Amino acid sequence: MIDTSENLIIIKGQIRTPEIESCQNYDGSYKIVFRNVPSAYTYKEENVLWLTDPDKPDPNNYQIISKGRTLSNIKALSIFKAGSHSYWHIRFQNGKEYDYREKDLEIIESCLGERRSKSIFEYLKKVADANELKADDGTKLLAKQYEKIHFIANNRAIAVYLNPQKYKMQTRTASTLIFPFGCNASQQKAVQAAFENQISVVQGPPGTGKTMTASIIANELHLPIYVILMEKVVTKYMGETSAKLRQIFDLIEDIPGVYLFDEFDAIGSQRGKENDVGEMRRVLNSFLQFIERDHSESLIIAATNNLELLDQALFRRFDDVIHYHLPNDDEKILLLKSRIGTNINKNELVKILPQLESLSHAEINQACLDAIKESVLDDKKIDINLIEKTIRERKMAYNI
């Protein structure tokens, strides 16, 4: 009987190994006996491909997808090679065996199959085990999460972190992006960067479009957006904040989406400062470890108004840092035109630019909306005087 884990026989382009009882080569031809068939069949040598000496890698190091379905409970793999072609013989835990052409499979390899990545990952597991954050039953929360991880795809961000010499951060070339009317230059740059990187930090003053950027990205990717308000996550009870973060990262793993950690400096402040709180330091450590082990399909964005407050260790975990700035003169004029139309010519708008100094995109937008509402309520035309009036009122409200 042919050992299907050691032999693969292709007859006239068809894999026939499971049907074959024996195969012998006689002077340029093959004599093949099929199972449950009494007589032998003879084939010309050019019609038979008999492959032996397969590679037998650890099946735990592979994620194999066939026709959109991930194959599970794999017991053993045999990979046969013939020139540029490869064939996979897969034996399952229930005893069933199947043969596949490699071109018909989607094969994802785990970075834990190579020595350096596995060594660093084992170190991180030991660090997690040393963390004293525990559940009510005494279980170490971080260590428990690490024990669940047996496979890390080599095309994930964490693979790059584990072995940057071997793996490179995956980039995606976006098709032509369509931006909302009035989208500013910083938002366009951030969206483009987010399409090319999996984890990003966006930084800038309030009202410059950081949160809107995340919404644009989610819309372009056809993914839901989830905004995590960090001030709601932080609690006064020891250990509860880290437990909430763990639940969030479980959700990130289970439900692909765009996840925006807003007001991120609430937990990401530099460690070691005079006002450093021990519990928040532990929370930040937990976040760093959670993001290191992330190998989800989700996009993670952190937003902060002050980049200088963030701990330096965070920047090594994020693929990109995008700075948002207050609008320049050209952007201010574009924003005014997009909100009030062509009722006011450009020369008049240029005259009020000094009054817009230090105002963000959102504040200028709100002043325009104030002018539109007043125009509707008082049944009067929008002119430069009305715009100047609502800008002054906004600046007074913001104490600028």
**Sign (positive or negative) of CA dihedral 314, 316, 319, 322:** positive
pTM above 0.85, yes or no: no
Confidence category of residue 181, pLDDT binned at 50, 70, 90:
very low
Q: What's the CA gap between 284 and 277, in Å, rounded? A: 11
Q: Which of 89-93, 198-202, 313-317, 337-341 has the lowest mean pLDDT?
A: 198-202
Would you say residue 170 has pLDDT above 70?
no
Q: What is the mean pLDDT of residues 104-117?
A: 90
Q: How far is CA 83 from the centre of its chain?
A: 35
CB 194 within 8 A of CB 278: no
How do residues 16-28 score in pLDDT, each as one tens digit? Answer: 999 999 998 888 8
- Average pLDDT (10-35) is 90
Radius of gyration of the chain (CA): 30
The pLDDT assigned to 94 comes to 92
pLDDT tens, residue by residue, 302-326: 887 777 667 777 767 777 777 777 8
Q: What share of the chain is helix, strand, coil (3-state, %, to 5)?
A: 40, 25, 35
Integer Cα distance of 357 and 326 in angstroms: 9
> Between 276 and 57, whose confidence is greater?
57
The pairing of strands 225-229 and 199-203 is unpaired
pLDDT band at residue 96 using 50, 70 and 90 as cut-offs: very high
| pLDDT exceeds cutoff 90 at 271 | no
pLDDT tens, 44-72?
989 999 999 999 999 999 999 998 888 99
- 184 vs 211, residue with greater confidence: 211
Contact 163, 117 (CB under 8 A): yes
The mean predicted confidence, pLDDT, of the chain is 80
Residue among 262, 249, 252, 253 at smallest CA distance from 289: 249
Per-residue pLDDT, 73: 92
DSSP 73: S
What pLDDT sits at residue 269? Answer: 57
Helices marked H in the chain: 115-130, 141-147, 157-162, 185-196, 210-221, 230-233, 240-254, 265-268, 278-292, 313-317, 329-340, 346-351, 361-378, 384-397
- Joined together, the tokens standing for residue 173 give 């070339």
Instruction: Return the pLDDT at 164.
Output: 80
Q: Which is it for strands 7-11 and 48-52: parallel, antiparallel or unpaired?
A: antiparallel
Burial (Cβ within 10 Å: 0-12, 13-18, ≥19) of residue 66: middle
End-to-end CA distance of the chain, in Å?
87
Of 340, 332, 330, 399, the C-alpha closest to 362 is: 332
For residue 237, name the pLDDT band (cuts at 50, 70, 90).
low
pLDDT at position 10: 94
Give the DSSP letter of residue 295: -
pLDDT at position 50 is: 93
Angle at 348 between CA 345 and CA 349, to 5 degrees: 85
Q: How far apart are CA 197 and CA 191, in angstroms?
A: 10
Work out the average pLDDT over 158-180.
66
**What is the rounded average pLDDT of the residues 250-271?**
76
Distance in angstroms (rounded) separating the CA atoms of residues 200 and 370 = 34
For 190-225, how does the pLDDT look when each residue is reduced to its tens digit (9 = 90+)?
666 665 665 566 666 677 777 777 787 787 778 888
Structure tokens at 282: 């532990």
pLDDT of residue 177: 54
How far apart (Å, rounded) are the C-alpha atoms in residues 148 and 260? 25
Would you call 130 helix, strand, or coil by DSSP?
helix
Q: pLDDT band at 36, cuts 50/70/90? A: confident
Which pLDDT score is estimated for 79?
96
pLDDT at 38: 83
Q: Which amino acid is at 312?
A: Q
If you count them, how many residues does the chain have?
400
CA distance 83 to 102: 13
Give the residue with greater pLDDT, 226 vs 173.
226
Please tell me the predicted confidence (pLDDT) of residue 324: 78
